């Protein structure tokens, strides 16, 4: 889809301060919208990322796993198309990506956001709790990135942005599975960044601290209060604050940033 033939580049105002970010390539005077695919893009942080990318001019596909009601409500409200498959299933990812590309064109920006928790102290953790979290939060990142990688290499442009977690950086009691997967996302990113650099592909991580989504609001209120007490800025983060980091990393201007982890955690942990 061409967005028009204006000769200047498009400006996107992301904050109260003027900030010019260029997201779209120009071909023969036309600005072509890039396509972005956000896993777990229908709720929480992912929904904010999908909307922020749409507002920045991308064609956006939002993947989700099973909550049809939430996905339908999200699509109705935002006009963003949703696609259902589990990132834990490699073949389903390949098929889902093929469908998105048939609908919207080649995916140039991948946001690996889908994630789950199955918290338990390690001595009580079951193999199932371990495998489900590794399957979605770490294998899911492989399953999504691997089918898209050859196309990004051929086109000499790509953005792979994975949502890790403060708990992948510092470790968290009761989350051996989650911390292992989220730390693995960072290692994956650092390795792949080196492979993608010469092909114009950047690979980065955003590591949120505690954000007020369903995942965190499911924690008992007393525990949540003790979490907030440990955050120097004195509050939970918002999904939009994470989305802004992603939109910047997706932009053409962020081409010199690769293999990096942007921590957005209210000062709770410095890595």
- Check binding of 225 to ligand NDP (CB under 6 A): no
Helix 90-104 to helix 139-155 angle (10° resolution) is 40
Q: Which of 211, 231, 246, 250 binds ligand NDP (CB under 6 A)?
A: 211
The per-residue b/e assignment along 59-98, b for 16 or more CB within 10 angstroms, e otherwise, is: bbbbbbbeeeebbeebeeebebebbebbbbbeeebeebbe
In the complex, minimum distance from the CB of residue 123 to ligand NDP, in angstroms, rounded to a whole number = 23
- Check binding of 184 to ligand NDP (CB under 6 A): no
Q: Kindly tell me which of 118 and 159 has the beta carbon lying closer to ligand NDP.
A: 118
Q: Which of 53, 97, 183, 216 binds ligand NDP (CB under 6 A)?
A: 216
Q: Kindly tell me which of 53 and 163 has the beta carbon lying closer to ligand NDP.
A: 163
Q: Which of 58, 64, 178, 210 is catalytic?
A: 178
In the complex, minimum distance from the CB of residue 57 to ligand NDP, in angstroms, rounded to a whole number = 23
Q: Which of 23, 33, 36, 46 binds ligand NDP (CB under 6 A)?
A: 46
Q: How many binding residues for ligand NDP (CB under 6 A)?
A: 31
Q: Kindly tell me which of 65 and 104 has the beta carbon lying closer to ligand NDP.
A: 65
Kindly list the residues in this chain that would bind ligand NDP in the complex (CB under 6 A). 39-40, 42-46, 63-67, 70, 86-88, 113-116, 136, 140, 163, 165, 208, 210-211, 213-216
Active site residues: 178
């Amino acid at each position: 889809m061409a967005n028009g033939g204006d000769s200047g580049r498009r400006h996107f105002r992301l904050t109260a301060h003027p900030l010019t970010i260029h997201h779209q390539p120009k071909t023969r005077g036309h600005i072509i919208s890039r396509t972005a695919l956000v896993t777990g893009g229908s709720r929480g942080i992912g929904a904010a990322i999908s909307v922020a990318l749409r507002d920045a001019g991308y064609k956006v596909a939002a993947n989700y796993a099973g909550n049809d009601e939430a996905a339908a409500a999200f699509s109705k409200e935002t006009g963003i198309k949703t696609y259902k498959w589990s990132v834990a299933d490699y073949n389903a990812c390949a098929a889902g990506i093929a469908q998105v590309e048939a609908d919207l064109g080649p995916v140039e920006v991948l946001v690996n956001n889908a994630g789950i928790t199955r918290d338990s102290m390690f001595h009580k953790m079951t193999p199932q709790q371990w495998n489900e979290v590794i399957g979605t939060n770490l294998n899911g990142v492989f399953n999504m990135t691997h089918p898209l990688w050859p196309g990004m290499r051929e086109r000499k442009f790509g953005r792979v942005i994975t949502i890790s977690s403060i708990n992948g950086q510092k470790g968290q009691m009761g989350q051996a599975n989650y911390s292992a997967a989220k730390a693995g996302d960072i290692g994956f990113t650092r390795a792949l960044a080196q492979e993608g650099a010469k092909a114009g592909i950047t690979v980065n991580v955003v590591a949120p601290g505690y954000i007020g989504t369903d995942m965190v609001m499911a924690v008992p209120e007393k525990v949540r209060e003790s979490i907030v007490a440990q955050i120097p800025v004195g509050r939970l983060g918002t999904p939009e604050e994470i989305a802004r980091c992603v939109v910047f990393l997706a932009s053409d201007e962020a081409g010199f940033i690769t293999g990096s982890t942007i921590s957005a955690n209210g000062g709770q942990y410095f890595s």
